[in-house]
């Protein structure tokens, strides 16, 4: 697979969501004017959630920041409902 086809994995540090130490792209965000680097799931557009990817399968969906575990064994991936 080329680099463009690979999925982007996200990290949750308890405060913000980042992808490879970069902020979430603005095309995924519904709320504009937020503090740069402090993006949460609540700022996503209505159709997007974070999925918890374990062994190549999405096991859980997260729609709110308070349900995200701070340390997760799998990877988080942006999913469109």
Burial (CB < 10 A; 0-12, 13-18, 19+), residue 41, is: buried
Instruction: Read off the pLDDT of residues 10-19 as tens digits, 9 standing for 90 and up.
Output: 777 777 777 7
Report the range out of 9-13, 43-47, 66-70 with the highest average pLDDT.
Answer: 43-47
pLDDT at 72: 61
Average pLDDT score over residue span 5-9: 64
pLDDT at 8: 72
Average pLDDT score, the chain: 75
Entry pTM? 0.66
What is the residue-wise DSSP string for the chain? --TTTSPPEEEE-SS-EEETTEEPPGGGBS--SPPTT---GGGB-TTEEEEEEETTEEEEEE-SGGGS-SS-SSEEEEEE-
Confidence of residue 66 (pLDDT cuts 50, 70, 90): confident
């Amino acid at each position: 697979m080329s680099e463009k086809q690979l999925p982007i994995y996200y990290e949750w540090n308890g405060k913000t969501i980042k992808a490879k130490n970069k902020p979430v792209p603005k095309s995924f965000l519904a709320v504009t004017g937020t503090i740069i680097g402090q993006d949460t799931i609540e700022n996503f557009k209505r159709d997007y959630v974070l999925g918890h990817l374990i062994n190549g399968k999405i096991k859980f969906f997260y729609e709110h920041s308070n349900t995200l575990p701070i340390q997760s064994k799998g990877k988080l991936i942006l999913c469109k409902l």
